[in-house]
Structure 1
Amino acid sequence: MSLPANAFDAPPGLPAPLPAGEHILWQGRPCAFGITFRTLHVGLVGAWFVGLVLWAGVPMVAEGQFAAAAITVGPTVALGVGAVGLLALIGWLTARSTTYTITNRRVVMRYGIALPMTLNLPFALIEDAGLRRFRDGSGDLPIRLRSGNRVAYVHLWPHARPWHVSRPEPMLRAIPQSGDVATILARAIAATLEQQEEAASPVIVARRPGAARPPRLAAAS
């Protein structure tokens, strides 16, 4: 039997085709606005340059030295506009080059502007997941890994929970409709844990009269 031409093609955002029994529950990208303002803090950078311009220019303007004020603050304004523009570009590229995927078995994070990287997080490695929502409905979903599983903070950034350097936590950043995505992830993890508990739960083995006495409990396969 011949296979279709795309049988070995990986879906977008995934490093390889999904194995049998695994399917995508959700896939999306972070919001460029959230990456730019909440991760790269472009607002604080812009405010810093505005403060410098006011500090240097306001006294001259108050004395009527408009031309001198323009000459003095001109380089600062140009540098500030360039810095804000560069951060905005990096934020847009970061969002554009990032794909988050939730399947019924794992979380996959594919990111990297120049050197794409893929992080696979099977549900068995996940200890907990949280949600931090913002006013616009977007949110961050940090993922806490079980003890003994660690990913370097430098390799994760900017897809890492801030200030958790000693025990880095991967994080789905600036996810639109984060509440719905968190629900999907929670249900998928719960379903996996339920299946594992059922597979590991003991079952009572019946014994016929006169037969050799079997063990009372046997693990279900």
Structure 2
Amino acid sequence: MPRDYRDDPDITIEPIPGLPGALPRGETILWQGRPQPLALARASLGLTWVAGYFALLAVWRVGSLAADLGWAGAMPYALPFLGLGLLACGMLYLVAYVQARATVYTITTERVAMRIGAALTLTVNLPLTRIVSADLGPGPGGTGSISLTPAEGSRLSYAVLWPHIRPWRMREPQPTLRCIEGAEKVAALLGDAATARQSRPELSAAAMAAE
């Protein structure tokens, strides 16, 4: 069941939340979701590494002073490093939270749409017929990410899509539904939708108008 975002105060007024316009006749929303903020901070902003770095600095500082001051006397010297680490991690989480709240991923019977961007909002539409493959990968905290390989000739920008992109694939950017809950079920739903769409014949504009 698609999630209802109509009462979400973080979503601007749109004909359909997460989509730039009304759905064409015959198109149906199958699923909507967004990244899990903490998992996104860990996966795309290195939150775990930053926390570990400052923790390591704190341990090093205490260890270097313990011989002269004793463990009890050296412990307070770890507080500045722990405080800076907490501040840095808090800022990273805030960035991830804002990014996650501004994002809506949508799978319909015709396409995958990604409403992204905290400062400059845009919607990336990927028709199911233009998606070559979808790769499911594990994410932090039990989440998962689904990377989409677009057909050759698709013009996508790594910088514009970040962090909703597969890491380090700069030459051939792969839009990615990052750090979503229930990723396995979503991937199966996407596969079924793509199979159904591929097996459905294209209708010309004249034929559609005649219906």
- In the alignment, the residues of structure 2 paired with residue 98 and residue 149 of structure 1 have an alpha-carbon distance, to the nearest angstrom, of 22
Structure 1 match to 2:182: 177
Opposite residue 161 of structure 1, the aligned amino acid is R
The alpha carbon displacement at 1:74 in A equals: 4.2
Q: Percent identity of the aligned residues?
A: 38
Deviation at 1:136, TM superposition (A): 4.9
Which residue of the partner structure matches residue 55 of structure 1? 60
Match of 1:98 in 2: 103
Structure with bigger helix share is: 2
- Structure showing greater radius of gyration is 1
Alignment of 1:1-221 (within 5 A): 10-64=15-69, 70=76, 72-134=77-139, 136-196=141-201
**Equivalent position amino acid for 1:159 in 2:** H
Q: Please say if residues 116 and 123 of structure 2, whose CA atoms lie closer than 8 Å, have aligned partners that are also in contact.
A: yes
5+ residue gaps, structure 1, are: 1-7, 200-221
Deviation readout 1:65-93 (Å, 9 max, x if unpaired): 666763x5444333211101101111221
Count of residues paired in the alignment:
190
Partner Cα distance (2:18, 2:61) in 1:
48
CA RMSD of aligned residues (A): 2.1
When the two structures are superposed, what TM-score results if normalisation uses the length of structure 1? 0.79
Q: Is the 8 A contact 1:137 1:178 kept in 2?
A: no
Q: C-alpha separation between the residues in 1 aligned to 2:19 and 2:40? A: 22
**Separation in 2, partners of 1:147, 1:164:** 15
Distance 2:75 2:14 in 1: 60
Alpha-carbon distance in structure 1 between the residues aligned to 2:68 and 2:142: 47
CA contact (8 A) 1:28 1:101 kept: yes
CA distance in 2, matches of 1:135, 1:42: 11
> Counterpart amino acid of 1:129?
A
Q: Normalising by the residue count of structure 2, what TM-score does the alignment of the two structures yield? A: 0.82
Whole-angstrom CA distance in 1 between matches of 2:199 and 2:150? 19
Residue 143 of structure 1 aligns to a residue whose secondary structure is strand
- Contact 1:150–1:167 under 8 Å retained in 2: no
Task: Find the aligned partners of 1:38 and 1:18 in 2 and give their Cα distance.
Answer: 32
Deviations 1:124-158 (A, max 9, x none): 22111111135854211000011111301001100
